[in-house]
Amino acid sequence: MKLNEPIDASCTILCGGSNSGMKQDKAWLIVNGDPVIKRMINQLSDIFSEIIISANDSEKFSQLNYRIVKDEFENCGPVTGIYCALKISKHQINFITACDIPDMNRELIIILLRKADIFDAVVPRHPNSMIEPLYAVYNKKGINKIIDNAADNKYKIHKALKHMDTLYLNILENDWYHNLNTMEDYQNHINRSK
């Protein structure tokens, strides 16, 4: 789906993970000749009028020429990246994604965005009930709930979502989402792309 012009929403790509399943930075893995992060930006830039990179190593991502936001709190996982992105983004509605998804499901993103006005978060859910909070839409009106419910150093986005007005959107397709958590995932993706 190609849009005539970007919509009034922001997209943040979270690049602050520990990459524990990889020997290298997932954002810079090469897929079909391009780093994953550049593939993602190419797919998202005609949807969103603002793209933000969430990364604590701003020098590593400065070549992309997009706004970079650093985490305010250390070692708190993606919840702090989401919080900081919502704080600085220009728009009320924000799509948040991990940096290891080389093929974005643009049609699904548009569906998530269209349901975001009245909810704090719209999160896709697999048929097995697993949710994808790092491929979801967040509304700025839920920003305080994200931090307020990350108490006792338990910075889990799943926990915050339980206290937010969250719509879990059931996705019945099986092949809508592939991320690169491990080198095996990466090799499988390369093989599928051939």
Average pLDDT over residues 36-42: 96
State the pLDDT at residue 152: 46
- Exposure string of 94-122, with b = 16+ CB inside 10 Å and e = fewer, is bbbbbbbbbbbbeebbeebbeebeebbbb
CA 138 to chain centre: 10
State the pLDDT at residue 111: 93
pLDDT of residue 194 exceeding 80: no
Q: What is the pLDDT of residues 148-167, one digit of tens each?
A: 755 445 567 888 898 899 99
State the pLDDT at residue 1: 43
Nearest 5°: phi and psi at 181?
-75, -35
Query: Over the chain, what is the mean pLDDT?
Result: 87
> Where exactly are the structural domains of the chain?
7-193
Q: Is 93 strand, coil or helix?
A: strand
Query: Among positive and negative, which fits the CA dihedral 146, 171, 54, 139?
Result: negative
Is the full-model pTM beyond 0.75?
Answer: yes
State the pLDDT at residue 125: 95
Please give the CATH superfamily to which domain 7-193 belongs.
Spore Coat Polysaccharide Biosynthesis Protein SpsA; Chain A (3.90.550.10)
Per-residue pLDDT band at 21 (split at 50, 70, 90): low
